[in-house]
């Protein structure tokens, strides 16, 4: 069995020869291999962050980072290279608000 794919999981992900980290934005509990992921960018959030950037706390990731919803894409189960972490409940709440605001989507 591969890595656990659930909302808020931080995954190692391969796009071509590039390895990056993504956050699972949504995943269906009955079909967890199909969902939406967004890249985790290792940089501080700007003071006036747009709705598509979700700041990540130090409890979630060891250095300053943001989830970039503007680069969200469908999860490719074959691209998952491993687990890298899990968002806290606080950050999951911020992610839920950002998804509703930016993507106009329900939970």
Q: What is the pLDDT of residues 57-89, one digit of tens each?
A: 999 999 999 999 999 999 998 999 999 999 999
Percent of the chain whose predicted confidence (pLDDT) is above 70:
88
What is d(CA 63, CA 77) in angstroms, rounded to the nearest whole number?
A: 26
Beta carbons within 10 angstroms of residue 77's beta carbon: 12
pTM of the model: 0.88
What is d(CA 43, CA 8) in angstroms, rounded to the nearest whole number?
A: 19
Mean pLDDT of the chain, nearest integer: 88
Tokens of 63: 């250095």
70: three-class secondary structure by DSSP: helix
- The domain over range 9-103 is classified in CATH as 2.30.30.110: yes
φ/ψ of residue 96, rounded to 5: -60, -45
What is d(CA 81, CA 83) in angstroms, rounded to the nearest whole number?
A: 7
């Amino acid at each position: 069995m591969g890595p656990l794919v659930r909302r808020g999981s931080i995954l190692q992900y391969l796009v071509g020869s590039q390895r990056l980290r993504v956050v699972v934005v949504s995943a269906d509990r009955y079909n967890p291999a199909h969902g939406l992921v967004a890249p985790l960018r290792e940089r501080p959030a700007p003071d006036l962050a747009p709705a598509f950037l979700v700041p990540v706390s130090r409890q979630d990731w060891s250095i300053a980072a943001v989830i970039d919803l503007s680069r969200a894409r469908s999860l490719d189960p074959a691209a998952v290279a491993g687990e890298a972490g899990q968002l806290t409940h606080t950050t999951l709440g911020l992610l839920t608000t950002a998804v509703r605001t930016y993507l106009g989507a329900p939970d």
